[in-house]
Amino acid sequence: MTDASDTDPGYALAPDGSFTAPLTLAYPYSRTVGPTYGRFLTGLAEGRFVATVGSDGRVFVPPAEFDPTTGQALDQWVDIAAEGTVESWSWQPEPSDAQPLDHPFAWVLVRLDGADTALLHVCDVPDPGAMETGMRVRARFVDGADPGMGALECFEPIGDDAGNDGGDRS
């Protein structure tokens, strides 16, 4: 009694007498991102980063809608460079389908120039030997992408010393 179909609810009786039934939840939802994340996601499609400034002067990217310390609504915006410094990284040897790149890559925490917080994304390098904390990276955007995180393809090293000479991933 393990076959699930429209007529058989798929109840399963185990040798020890325990009895289970399947329950599959699948339901479509949407999410209104609101003006703050909306501006950030729209900026990505234009190839740029925007950030909000906290009540203590800290620059948040991705932007914070409300100050994490005081709760104040944040409406002061600054443009942030598309280049930054890797604060930490981890190697992904076998990417899954849902991940940003289809070949091995590095997860990176990037602090963009001018920002006080780090952004989690991926860095496109051929092997972990090309990664180093403190290395410089720049964003690679998808030309003509719709607003959304998909507009930011990945980060890539700046300069030859990072072991990547211009996007050759062979």
Which residues of the chain form contacts with other proteins (CB under 8 A)? 9, 11, 21-23, 25, 27-37, 64-73
CB atoms within 10 A of CB 109: 17
Coil/strand/helix, residue 77 = strand
For other proteins, the closer of residues 28 and 134 by Cβ is 28
Coil/strand/helix, residue 88 = strand
CB of 42 to other proteins, least distance (A): 14
CB of 59 to other proteins, least distance (A): 16
For other proteins, the closer of residues 29 and 166 by Cβ is 29
For other proteins, the closer of residues 23 and 98 by Cβ is 23
For other proteins, the closer of residues 73 and 81 by Cβ is 73
The amino acid at 117:
T
Copy the structure tokens of residue 167.
């996007």
CB of 116 to other proteins, least distance (A): 16
**CA proximity to 128, closest of 154, 107, 155:** 107
CB of 21 to other proteins, least distance (A): 3
Q: Please tell me the distance from the alpha carbon of residue 139 to that of residue 53, in angstroms, as a whole number.
A: 21
